[in-house]
Homo-oligomer: A and B are copies of this chain.
Amino acid sequence: MRLLFLGDIVGRSGREAVVSLLPRLRQEMALDFVVINGENAAGGFGITAAICDELYDAGADAITLGNHAWDQREALAHVEREDRLIRPRNFPPGTPGRGNGLYEAKNGARVLVINAMGRVFMDAMDDPFASVDEALSDCPLGDVADAALVDFHGEATSEKMAMGHFCDGRASLVVGTHSHIPTADAQILPGGTAYQTDAGMCGDYDSVIGMEKDEPLNRFITKMPRGRFTPALGPATVCGVFVETGAGGLAERVEPLRLGGRLKPARPA
């Protein structure tokens, strides 16, 4: 199977780049399944039902979230109705929506998608390791699921690498999100799970993690707010990770994808 994961879409610039590129990518790369992190798609803060639809239309099979999941109030209702929209699994029991889903890809294969949030330098959620373990155990790779993808939304590289090893042999891909910067450490771990510490954002990299740079700079320098944070509007780089799975759903190949904007392009052959 050929899977593509795209990192946090930041604002209009990121959305437009994904919507314009993804249809062609799906075809040219012969993608079977596409997952996108959409936690910053709506003006940098959260996501709306309309944006979800736009992304499904462009070729997304599932959308994951993160700490910005609830920035747009309508997401709370939408996440209940729309089973392709996944919020971090380690919110407390009773949280609206779901933290994982088993989907049928266009080729008929079953793809497990899990979203979880890190706790180092972030808000204290339920244990992400226990939570991901449960989801993977409920739906074993190579048995119930033909592919399994974990979007681990976290800050600390240590926690993200630990999650990669924790899932090694049980997931097709563990990919980090939230830092908004793609890492150059794509690898297949010893047990067969593809791993990249962060997918990077789909957004304008002439910015501070996707936001227009004046206000973040102002705050770092003066320690006082002057205005709001708004997404940078220059051309976005679409950032993600491509994985090809083999027998048993483990990874045979992992490649970064970076297209458009300011970053050096990387496109899996």
Listed residue (A70, A208, A256, A258) with the most chain B CB atoms within 10 angstroms of its CB:
A208
Q: A130-B92, A181-B185, A221-B92 are in contact. Are A213 and B162 (CB under 8 A)?
A: yes
Query: Is A123 close to B, CB under 8 A?
Result: yes
Query: Is A60 close to B, CB under 8 A?
Result: no
Q: A185-B263, A264-B186 are in contact. Are A92 and B161 (CB under 8 A)?
A: no
**Chain A interface helix/strand/loop/mixed:** loop
Verify B162–A208 contact, CB threshold 8 A: yes
Chain B residues closer than 8 Å to A92, beta-carbon distance: 127, 130, 221-223
Q: Which of A24-32, A108-116, A152-160 contacts B (4 or more CB under 8 A)?
A: A152-160
Query: Is A165 close to B, CB under 8 A?
Result: yes
Q: Which of A9-17, A135-143, A199-207 contacts B (4 or more CB under 8 A)?
A: A199-207
Could you tell me the distance between the alpha carbons of A120 and B119 in the complex, rounded to whole angstroms?
11
Query: Is A51 close to B, CB under 8 A?
Result: no
Query: Is A179 close to B, CB under 8 A?
Result: yes
Query: Is A77 close to B, CB under 8 A?
Result: no
Chain B residues closer than 8 Å to A155, beta-carbon distance: 121, 155-156
Verify B158–A208 contact, CB threshold 8 A: yes
Q: A183-B184, A184-B256, A263-B184 are in contact. Are A161 and B223 (CB under 8 A)?
A: no
Give the copy number.
4
CB-CB contacts below 8 Å: A167-204 with B: 179-187, 189-190, 197-198, 200
Chain B residues closer than 8 Å to A99, beta-carbon distance: none
Give chain B nearest CB distance to A191 CB in angstroms.
11
Verify B205–A162 contact, CB threshold 8 A: no
CB-CB contacts below 8 Å: A78-124 with B: 91-95, 119-121, 123-124
Verify B91–A223 contact, CB threshold 8 A: yes
Could you tell me the distance between the alpha carbons of A223 and B94 in the complex, rounded to whole angstroms?
11
**A126 to B, closest residue via Cβ:** B127
In the complex, 25 of the A-B residue pairs with CB atoms within 8 angstroms, ordered by the A residue number, are A91-B222, A91-B223, A92-B130, A92-B223, A121-B155, A124-B125, A124-B127, A129-B221, A130-B221, A155-B155, A157-B179, A157-B181, A157-B209, A158-B208, A162-B220, A165-B217, A166-B221, A181-B184, A182-B184, A183-B198, A184-B184, A184-B263, A184-B266, A187-B263, A187-B264
Closest A-B pairs by Cβ, 3 of them: A119-B124, A184-B184, A182-B184
Known: A161-B213, A162-B208, A181-B183. 6 other contacts (CB 8 A): A121-B155, A124-B124, A157-B209, A162-B220, A185-B205, A187-B263
